Amino acid sequence: MENSILPITQSSEPSISPSPRLHISASSPPTRWLFSPRVDLLAFLGSAIVSLVALWIGARAGVLYDQSPDWAWVPFVLLIDVAHVYATAFRVYFDPTELKRKPWLYILVPTIGYAIGVALYSESDMFFWRTLAYLAVFHFVRQQYGWVALYRARLGERDRLGRWLDTITIYLATIYPLLYWHAHLPRQFWWFLKNDFAALPALIVNILQPVYWTVLGLYALRSLYRWLVKGEVNPGKDIVVATTAVCWYVGIVAFNSDYAFTVTNVVIHGVPYLVLVYWYARAQREASPRVYQILTRGPVPFLLTLWLLAYVEEMFWDRGLWHERGWLFGGGWQLESLKMWFVPLLALPQLTHYVLDGFIWRRKNNPAFTLIQ
């Protein structure tokens, strides 16, 4: 089937994290897509278009250079960013079979993570948030690399030059904007909290800038050559590279606003991940418990479950710490004396998501992994 996805069994590609390593089996006809043409285009190109349209809406609404208003925070942060974190539960904690396969990993990661979180927060709340921010940055960057490596594996691209160019391009597309951010502090936006990034000299970005544009140009020229001259087409990979470069540059470098960063940052990261987990869950549902089958019967119960979990988490954040959206979450609680225990606990789903994503999609950790539907 064109939309069947199998684990990689033979590939020279480097280890991919957090995205899965995939392979077309001998019985599967060649395909350029990870899921299907429609799903891939909606997940990767569609999410980028939504981000850019949101910028236009923000400009029309007069908030393009402002903080994210509640009408943007709810769909982008609550329903995409926070919800996608809980999607990992469908891959691990809602699946008894998977839990039994590696109980030590799935129990120790949150247990040790919470202990480390409390230790970090007890030293300094900023130390805690800065550590979490850089872990999140690593996760976001690696996911974009993972999609590129996954598309290479899907079409069996094994040439060394192409692998190096693809790798350097996708890393520069994400890391250059991040370094620009670090070199131009303070910005009007931040990853979690103000000052959670450390400043870097502007010289680093000035040196890297011509390299950034040169590599992007080389990637574009090579792709055009392969498309027009050799007839070798990998549209999914090119879409991921192009949308990553555009959204990260626009959201971090071109605009200096919380709204612009939010709408460009979370959509192209969260939406493809939600698609991946839903696709996986649908493939596993026939052999899963009844509750799992009900929650994955369609996108509506799947998303409603994630949105409920996201709402509960954000309710605790807002009522216990932020006190910003009483209209949505209700009145606040006085938990100042418990922050050392409370904050790491609420951040634990994110931490667990970041760490486990480095294991649950990798072929060597999941010999029976499949997304066949």
Dump pLDDT digits (tens) for 187-242.
Answer: 999 999 999 999 999 999 999 999 999 999 999 999 999 999 988 899 999 999 99
Average per-residue pLDDT in the chain?
89
Alpha helices in the chain (DSSP H): 37-40, 47-61, 70-73, 83-86, 88-91, 96-101, 103-123, 125-154, 160-183, 202-225, 235-248, 258-265, 267-284, 290-295, 299-317, 326-329, 339-356
Rounded CA separation 361/75 (Å): 27
* More confident call, 370 vs 99: 99
Rounded CA separation 318/324 (Å): 6
Q: CA–CA distance from 66 to each of 26, 186, 295 (Å)?
A: 53, 15, 38
* More confident call, 62 vs 1: 62
pLDDT in the model for residue 56: 97
Q: Looking at residues 50-77, what average pLDDT do you find? A: 96
pLDDT at 158 over 50: yes
Backbone phi and psi for residue 253, each to the nearest 5 degrees, phi listed first: -95, -55
Rounded CA separation 317/314 (Å): 5
pLDDT at 58 over 50: yes
- % of the chain exceeding 70 in pLDDT: 89
132 within 8 A of 351, measured Cβ to Cβ: yes
Give DSSP secondary structure letters for 251-271: IIII---HHHHHHHHSHHHHH
Rounded CA separation 320/298 (Å): 34
Determine the residue type at 287: A
| pTM metric for this prediction | 0.90
Dihedral of CA 284/290/295/299: which sign?
positive
For 287, what's the count of Cα atoms within 13 Å in the CB-facing half-sphere? 9
240 within 8 A of 148, measured Cβ to Cβ: yes
pLDDT in the model for residue 337: 81
Give DSSP secondary structure letters for 312-355: HHHHHHIIIII---HHHH-S----GGGHHHHHHHHHHHHHHHHH
Rounded CA separation 252/174 (Å): 10
Lowest average pLDDT, out of 137-141, 162-166, 180-184, 319-323, goes to 319-323
Structure tokens of 253? 């470098």
pLDDT in the model for residue 198: 96
pLDDT digits (tens, 9 = 90+) for 243-269: 999 999 999 999 999 999 999 999 999
pLDDT at 8 over 90: no
245 within 8 A of 174, measured Cβ to Cβ: no
Determine the residue type at 241: V
Residue with tokens 């594996």: 153
Position 32 confidence tier, pLDDT thresholds 50, 70, 90: confident
Residue with tokens 């709810």: 74
pLDDT in the model for residue 370: 59
Q: Looking at residues 63-75, what average pLDDT do you find? A: 95
pLDDT in the model for residue 78: 98
Burial class, 82, CB count within 10 angstroms (exposed 0-12 / middle 13-18 / buried 19+)? buried
pLDDT at 145 over 80: yes
Burial class, 13, CB count within 10 angstroms (exposed 0-12 / middle 13-18 / buried 19+)? buried
Q: What angle do CA 131, 109, 89 make, to 5 degrees?
A: 105
pLDDT digits (tens, 9 = 90+) for 326-373: 999 998 888 878 899 999 999 999 999 999 998 898 767 666 665 555
Lowest average pLDDT, out of 152-156, 207-211, 302-306, goes to 152-156
pLDDT at 22 over 60: no
Rounded CA separation 176/199 (Å): 14
